[in-house]
């Protein structure tokens, strides 16, 4: 198994959207000669140099939990080596210590990137992406679990009872000479509702999207190469499903 298999499979798909949100887990495809710079360049060629690419640069662990600090330029993301590669290139990063994204490509200035005091609320990059029919969700080596962060936006607007906001006070470093004290609302999943543990059923969510021909998966020898969907279509569908289940 190597990266060529993934790249060749992506060549078969014509991505219609101008913006692509890309989650990734490249670990199963990394061989001895793997170089992230080469992989990233080939990925750009395959997807199209006119595409604007958006990568999660999430972070959920902080060095000093009682004195939370995050830097837009220095804080590493924990969303994989591909996201980290593009974070350090000529990209723009949104300001949210938990669910930031970095944006790379010719239309990067058109993607919201300022301070976002909630991850998925109004005027955030996630709202912009999920309402935009010109954004695709590509998850390399991943399905909805790990590659479907947009589901949290649907949970928020659907007002699910198993998540709530928790206030977190951060010192945010905007650039080398500018720091701000900002309170963020973290959209946290409750551990319990009554006497029941809360657990998301991402397999059911994924199956529904596949059955309704919204999500496409490419596999080989039972190994998932990538999954892909239009973000707006997926969000509209899931919103409707949750509404029916209430």
pLDDT single digits (tens) 94-124: 999 999 999 999 999 999 999 999 999 999 9
Beta partners for 180? 172
CA-to-CA dists, residue 60 to 15, 67, 100, angstroms: 31, 14, 11
For residue 240, what pLDDT is reported? 95
Pull the structure tokens for residue 146.
Answer: 């790990």
For residue 43, what pLDDT is reported? 97
For residue 171, what pLDDT is reported? 94
The rounded distance, in Å, linking the Cα atoms of 89 and 177 is 21
For residue 1, what pLDDT is reported? 60
The rounded distance, in Å, linking the Cα atoms of 165 and 150 is 17
Beta partners for 140? 24, 226
For 64, other C-beta atoms within 10 Å of its C-beta total 8
For residue 169, what pLDDT is reported? 94
For residue 66, what pLDDT is reported? 74
For residue 63, what pLDDT is reported? 66
Nearest by Cα to 75 from 65, 62, 64: 62
User: Helix H segments across 110-201?
Assistant: 125-130, 144-147, 150-157
Q: Which residues of the chain have pLDDT under 70?
A: 1, 63, 246
For residue 178, what pLDDT is reported? 87
Beta partners for 93? 102
């Amino acid at each position: 198994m190597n990266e060529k298999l993934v790249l060749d499979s992506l060549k078969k798909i014509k991505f219609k959207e101008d913006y692509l949100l890309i989650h990734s887990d490249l670990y199963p495809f990394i061989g001895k000669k793997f170089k992230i710079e080469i992989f990233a360049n080939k990925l750009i060629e395959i997807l199209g140099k006119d595409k604007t690419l958006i990568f999660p640069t999430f972070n959920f662990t902080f060095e000093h939990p009682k004195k939370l600090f995050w830097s837009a330029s220095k804080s590493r993301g924990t969303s994989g080596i591909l996201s980290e590669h593009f974070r350090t290139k000529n990209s723009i990063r949104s300001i949210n210590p938990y669910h930031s994204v970095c944006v790379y490509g010719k239309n990067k200035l058109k993607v919201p990137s300022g301070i976002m005091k909630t991850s998925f609320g109004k005027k955030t990059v996630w709202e912009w992406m999920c309402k935009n029919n010109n954004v695709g969700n590509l998850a390399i080596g991943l399905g909805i679990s790990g590659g479907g962060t947009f589901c949290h936006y649907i949970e928020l607007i659907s007002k699910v009872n198993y998540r709530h906001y928790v206030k977190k006070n951060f010192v945010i470093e905007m650039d080398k000479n500018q720091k701000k004290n900002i309170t963020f609302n973290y959209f946290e999943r409750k551990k319990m509702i009554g006497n029941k543990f809360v657990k998301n059923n991402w397999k059911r969510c994924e199956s529904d999207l596949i059955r309704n021909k919204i999500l496409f998966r490419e596999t080989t020898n039972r190994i998932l190469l990538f999954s892909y969907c239009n973000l707006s279509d997926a969000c509209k569908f899931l919103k409707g499903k949750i509404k029916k289940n209430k």
